[in-house]
Copies of this chain bind each other. A is one copy, B any other.
Amino acid sequence: MSQVSSSVSADRLRETLEAHGHRFTEQRGAVYRFLSGTDTHPTAEDVFNGVRELVPAISLATVYKNLETLVGCGMALKLTYSDGSARYDGRTDPHHHARCTHCGTVRDVPGSLPRDLVAGPDACADFHVTGYRLELTGYCADCA
């Protein structure tokens, strides 16, 4: 079952890559697999360290290149937090992020905003909204 679902993901990845003129490679598959298997919003370096367990010979530059490729295909999101380093998110279903201002952890929160609210006519007359990112700040259960 984990093979079934991961081969499904791999197929979808391959299709999407090819639709964008890219090729499927072992390194790309591993980066994607690592990303979609975590909800910890890793930095590029985190991804590098995680993927090295799957593909020991991969290089950091390749990880950067592949993360950029995945983002370009819509298979991953690039987030950035105030600690100065970019973070990546392999989830593509609608969800928000809740960041604890005390301990700094970020967890996923399911849900999506009503469409009319995001694309509201009042504020954005000359801006064509295609997506959004909502980050809640506050205190997590441990720090409350």
Contact = CB atoms under 8 A, between A and B. Distances in A.
A109 B123 contact: yes
B133 A129 contact: no
B82 A81 contact: no
A135 interface: yes
Given A80-B84, A82-B78, A84-B80, A140 B126 contact: yes
Contact of A138 (B84, B131, B137): B131
A134 interface: yes
Interface string A122-144: 11101111111111111111001
Please list the 8 inter-chain residue pairs (A to B) with the smallest Cβ-Cβ separation, ordered nearest first: A80-B80, A126-B141, A130-B138, A129-B138, A131-B137, A128-B139, A109-B123, A133-B135
